[in-house]
C-alpha cells in the first residue's frame, strides 16, 4: 500500500551512494529516474490535460462537497490502462485538501488487509483501489457497510461465543479504478455515486501532454516533434510519456539533442512503432489472424496460445486500441481483422471479406 500526502514532492532515495556501482552515474540521476512518474503527474485540473467532460463534472462535485462540508461520494473510473485514473484520483485529493491511500485489489487477499486499511483512515480521506474488479467476495462484503454506513462488521470469538461487532469508522471516499467495469458485481457497482469512463486522448491532447512532459524533464522538443510522438502514442498519455523519454535518448545520442519531426519519426521507426502506434506484438496479432485463420473469426484463447501471450495481456493491452482504431473487430464467433487492418498491413483483403463488411 502506498500513502501519498498533499505535499508529496516525490519518493526519496533511501541510500543513493550505495547504488552508485558505476562512478559515471550521479546520485541525482538515480533519484530522477525513481521520481519520474510522480514528477510528471499533474496536481490540479488546470495541468490535467484531456478528459474535459469529466473534469467539468468533478469541479462541480468537489465544490458542492466543500460547501456542504461533507466527504465526496464514492467514485468509479473505468477504461483502458494508462488514461489517468490514478492521476485524476490524486488531483481530487489535492483539490479537496486531503490525503489519499493507494492500494490494489490483488493486495487485499485477507479480511484483515481491507479492515486494516479502513480502520487507519481519517475523516475525509480518500481510499483508491486499483483494478477493483479483482476484489474477492470477502473484501467486497466488508466494503458494503463501510461504503454505505461507514461501519465495519467484525466477528469475535468462536462457535457459541462468537459475537458480531459493528465498529464505526471515519467518513471517507472510495475511488475505484478498473479496466473491466463489466466484471464488477452489481452490488458493488451500485454503491458508487459517480461512475465515469475515461476516453482515449485525441492527437491534439496528446501533443500537449508530450510538450508538458518534455518541459518538466527539460527536453528540447518542437511542436512538430511533439505531434509526431503523439500520433504514435495509441491515444494513451502513459505511452506518450514513455516515448518522450525513449526518443529523447535517441536525440541525445544520435542527433543534436533536439526532438523535431524527423528525429521523432526516425527514432520511433527504430523502436518498431509504426504510424498507428502499433508495435511488434500488435502487428503479429493481426498477421496471425490473417495468415493462419484467413482473417478470422478466431477465439482469444487460440490467439493467445499461438502468440505465447497471456489472454489478459491481449485483452487489456493489445485489443482496446486495435478495436478503437478499427483494425480489429469482435464478433460472437471470435476476433476478425477489419478491412482497415488489412490496408494498414499492406495486405489485400479477400473479396468475401469485403462483402461481409
Catalytic residues: 85-86, 130, 179, 238
Contact 155, 63 (CB under 8 A): no
Contact 231, 209 (CB under 8 A): no
Show the cell assigned to 250. 535517441
Show the cell assigned to 31. 533519484
Length in residues, the chain: 357
End-to-end CA distance of the chain: 48
Q: Are strands 328-331 and 100-104 parallel, antiparallel or unpaired?
A: unpaired
Q: What are 100's strand-pairing partners?
A: 4, 126
Q: How far apart are CA 340 and CA 302, in angstroms?
A: 23
Contact 277, 264 (CB under 8 A): no
User: Cis before residue 297, ω within 30 degrees of 0?
Assistant: yes
Q: What are 101's strand-pairing partners?
A: 3, 127
H/E segment holding residue 80: none
How many CA atoms within 13 Å lie on the side-chain side of 173?
25
Amino acid at each position: 500500500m502506498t500513502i501519498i500526502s498533499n505535499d508529496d514532492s516525490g519518493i526519496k532515495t533511501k541510500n543513493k551512494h550505495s547504488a552508485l556501482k558505476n562512478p559515471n552515474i550521479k546520485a541525482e540521476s538515480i533519484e530522477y529516474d525513481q521520481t519520474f512518474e510522480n514528477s510528471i503527474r499533474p496536481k490540479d485540473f488546470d495541468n490535467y490535460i484531456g478528459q474535459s467532460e469529466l473534469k467539468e463534472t468533478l469541479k462541480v462535485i468537489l465544490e458542492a462537497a466543500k460547501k456542504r462540508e461533507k466527504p465526496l461520494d464514492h467514485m468509479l473510473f473505468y477504461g483502458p490502462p494508462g488514461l489517468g485514473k490514478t492521476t485524476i484520483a490524486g488531483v481530487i485529493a489535492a483539490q479537496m485538501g486531503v490525503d489519499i491511500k493507494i492500494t490494489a485489489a490483488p493486495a487485499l487477499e485477507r479480511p484483515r488487509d481491507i479492515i486494516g486499511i479502513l480502520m487507519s483512515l481519517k475523516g475525509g480521506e480518500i481510499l483508491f483501489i486499483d483494478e477493483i474488479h479483482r476484489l474477492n467476495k470477502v473484501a467486497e462484503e466488508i466494503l458494503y457497510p463501510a461504503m454505505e454506513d461507514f461501519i465495519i462488521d467484525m466477528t469475535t470469538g468462536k462457535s457459541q461465543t462468537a459475537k458480531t461487532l459493528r465498529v464505526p469508522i471515519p467518513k471517507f471516499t472510495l475511488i475505484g479504478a478498473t479496466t473491466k467495469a463489466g466484471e464488477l458485481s452489481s452490488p458493488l457497482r451500485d454503491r458508487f455515486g459517480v461512475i465515469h469512463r475515461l476516453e482515449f486522448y485525441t492527437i491534439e491532447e496528446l501533443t500537449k501532454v508530450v510538450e508538458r512532459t518534455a518541459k518538466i524533464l527539460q527536453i528540447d522538443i518542437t511542436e512538430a516533434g511533439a505531434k509526431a510522438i503523439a500520433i504514435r502514442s495509441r491515444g494513451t498519455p502513459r505511452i506518450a510519456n514513455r516515448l518522450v523519454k525513449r526518443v529523447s535518448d535517441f536525440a541525445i545520442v544520435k542527433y543534436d539533442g533536439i526532438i523535431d519531426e524527423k528525429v521523432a519519426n526516425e527514432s520511433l521507426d527504430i523502436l518498431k512503432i509504426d504510424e498507428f502506434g502499433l508495435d511488434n506484438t500488435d502487428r503479429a496479432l493481426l498477421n496471425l489472424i490473417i495468415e493462419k485463420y484467413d482473417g478470422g473469426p478466431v477465439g482469444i484463447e487460440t490467439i493467445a496460445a499461438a502468440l505465447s501471450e497471456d489472454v489478459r495481456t491481449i485483452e487489456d493491452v493489445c485489443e482496446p486500441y486495435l478495436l478503437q482504431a478499427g483494425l480489429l473487430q469482435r464478433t460472437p464467433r471470435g476476433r476478425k481483422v477489419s478491412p482497415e487492418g488489412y490496408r494498414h498491413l499492406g495486405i489485400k483483403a479477400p473479396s468475401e471479406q469485403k462483402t461481409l463488411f
